[in-house]
Amino acid sequence: MVSPRQNQIEQLKSQNFDLLVIGGGITGAGIALDAATRGLSVALVEKGDFASGTSSKSTKLIHGGLRYLKQFELKVVHDVGQERAIVHRLAPHLVKPEKMLLPIYRGGTFGKFGTSLGLWLYDFLAGVKKEDRRKMLTVSRSLEAEALLRKENLLGGGLYAEYRTDDARLTIEVVKTAIRFGAACLNYVEVTNFIDENGQLTGAHCQDFTEGNAFEIKAKTIVNAAGPWVDSLREIDKSLNNKRLFLSKGTHIVVPWKRLPLRHSVYFDVKDGRMVFAIPRQRATYIGTTDQPFKGDKGAVFAENPEIEYLLDAANALFPSVKLALSDVESTWAGLRPLIYEEGKSAGEMSRKDEIFISKSGLISVAGGKLTGYRKMAQKLVDLVLKQQRQTPIVCVTKQVALTEVPFANMQEVLDFQRFIEAKLSALDDPQTTAIYLTENYGRIAEQIVAQAFSEGKKSDEALVLAELAYCLENELVQTPTDFFERRTGLLYFDIQRVQRHLEAVLLAFQNHLNWSSAKLDAERAAMLDLMKKLRPWSV
Ligand code: FAD
């Protein structure tokens, strides 16, 4: 019998696509969606799982980037700032408003006046609605907002609007939406070389890692959206010139919310002059990030002890009473920013602007940029593809394309739905947190997942996890337990105990669904256990 995956590969082999996108991070996913909604035939291949590169390793903010204001990158702040409200509207359950507190200390990056003016400009550039605009707080109001702040030298604070998301979930929702519009998107397929006819690319050689087949995809235009791997593909295309990527590593750590019980996200100064976020997220709080040049294996990027200690020191300096220790860290992640190299600038100083390179062979490479600006970046790129293909311009419609099958109209609907789900989970521990988690991850599909989980009458957390898995196996192209625990659910970062509790049941469900041999089951178990160790490097 031909597997559904094999069917998809047959489809990829049989067509001459308008566009082949290489890379299933947010950039590639956004481009595939934009092109598919404008009527182009689109193929997208991803060598690992969707979002397995940088797009599951960010700070998970849909933000204008206050730091860019500091660097006078007003256009970046304007463009990505405006995008926040758009992406929120397209998926309000997944891109949620989040108040950010910027505490002001004597001798800090922004003084009181600077913060007030900076946040005003930030709101102005991003077109923030009146009711959401920044509020300046006195010392006592700042402490009312966050009681754990260091009191010494505190001058006040600025409270302003941002949005929080889950980067990997956002990516998969964009991929699923692209598929709904007819794009053929497949994970675990790597582009290994290009097909060149008379100096022009006409397709790519691909390798499928799940069933071991090599095959070709033909396309009129090829877009290289390979994030940190963009230059590897430019090298294959022999088009790597002096405009190159510069990879900067950023690490985050996760502690239990109970150990750092914040009410708001906080963006704060660190003694080396950098700024770091501390972000509450249900039962956890995460802290990040670092910004260090990276030269190692792009496929194996993990937090290292000095980075973890740097982040713990940063948090302890701002919240001195909590005294976080290594033993509080439950999980970590680290990713690579694919920045455009600029002579003489440090990692932190380099621009986060996106850039497009077009090679002689016609390969279009896109790099830099931010999660937040993915939709706009995709629009720009597809405009270019249409121009190159001499097609009549077709208007970009992604501002109107909801990133879920049955969308929520606004935040109130999200909150009402969350309460509805919470009522159904009353037999479980902490139904509120689980309801928020399910709604953020799956939107209205959460109802279907809960119904399936409890269909046999037994209301357990394990039944719920297995119903989530069943949904992801059927609808989200999940191939391995890591896909599920790291990128579809985020549990590996934010609730690692839940992973430990349900790992065996999940492995067995995979075995049944994908007909795994016991050797394959053992290999997948070993891969998960190894990954969990790498996320806690001090314990190895
Ligand atoms: P990736 O997500 O890396 O995707 C590229 C994909 O291409 C990979 O999955 C890879 O496997 C695949 N690929 C590579 N080679 C091949 C091949 N030959 N064949 C097939 N597939 C291939 N932005 C924000 O807006 N908000 C934030 O809060 C934020 N925080 C950040 C924090 C950190 C620490 C970092 C590192 C970045 C942050 N960013 C943030 C930036 C944002 O995460 C990135 O701009 C974005 O995720 C890049 O996405 P991408 O699709 O270009 O790259």
User: What DSSP state is assigned to residue 428?
Assistant: S
Take atom 45 of ligand 1 and give the residue whose Cα is closest. Answer: 370
249 token code pair: 């590593």
Four-point Cα dihedral 521, 524, 528, 531, nearest 10 = 160
**Residue 187 alpha carbon to ligand 1 centre in Å:** 15
Q: Which atom of ligand 1 is nearest to the CA of 206?
A: 19
Whose tokens are 């009402």? That residue is: 416
pLDDT at 171: 98
For residue 535 and ligand 1, the question of a CB distance below 6 A is answered with no
CA distances (Å), origin 177, targets 16, 352, 368:
22, 26, 24
Are 62 and 163 spatial neighbours (Cβ–Cβ below 8 Å)? yes
Amino acid at 522: D
- Residue 162, strand partner residues: 98
For residue 381 and ligand 1, the question of a CB distance below 6 A is answered with no
For residue 22 and ligand 1, the question of a CB distance below 6 A is answered with yes
Are 469 and 484 spatial neighbours (Cβ–Cβ below 8 Å)? yes
pLDDT at 76: 80
Q: Which residues contact 440 (CB under 8 A, 6 or more apart)?
A: 93, 94, 96, 166, 169
For residue 81 and ligand 1, the question of a CB distance below 6 A is answered with no
**Residue 79 alpha carbon to ligand 1 centre in Å:** 19
**Residue 370 alpha carbon to ligand 1 centre in Å:** 8
Q: Distance between CA 364 and CA 218 in Å, rounded?
A: 15
For residue 108 and ligand 1, the question of a CB distance below 6 A is answered with no
Whose tokens are 């995956």? That residue is: 5
Take atom 31 of ligand 1 and give the residue whose Cα is closest. Answer: 58
* Beta-strand pair 154-164/189-197: unpaired
Take atom 14 of ligand 1 and give the residue whose Cα is closest. Answer: 226
pLDDT at 540: 67
- Helix H, strand E, coil C: the string for 328-359 is HCCEEEEEEEEEECCCCCCHHHCCCCEEEEEC
User: What DSSP state is assigned to residue 130?
Assistant: G
For residue 289 and ligand 1, the question of a CB distance below 6 A is answered with yes
pLDDT at 347: 66
Q: Distance between CA 29 and CA 34 in Å, rounded?
A: 9
pLDDT at 234: 96
Q: Could you list the pLDDT tens digit for every one of the 540 residues in the chain?
A: 667 788 888 889 999 999 999 999 999 999 999 999 999 999 999 999 999 999 999 999 998 777 777 777 888 888 888 899 999 999 999 999 999 999 999 988 778 998 899 899 989 988 888 889 999 999 999 999 999 999 999 999 999 999 999 999 999 999 999 999 999 999 999 999 999 999 999 999 999 998 888 999 999 999 999 999 999 999 999 999 888 899 999 999 999 999 999 999 999 999 998 999 999 999 999 999 999 999 999 999 999 999 999 999 999 999 999 999 999 999 999 999 999 886 777 766 676 778 899 999 999 999 988 899 999 999 999 999 999 998 888 999 999 999 999 999 999 999 999 999 999 999 999 999 999 999 999 999 999 999 999 998 888 999 999 999 999 999 999 999 999 999 999 999 999 999 999 999 999 999 999 999 999 999 999 999 999 999 998 876
- Phi first, then psi, for residue 13 (nearest 5°) are -75, -30
**Residue 339 alpha carbon to ligand 1 centre in Å:** 10
SS3 117: helix
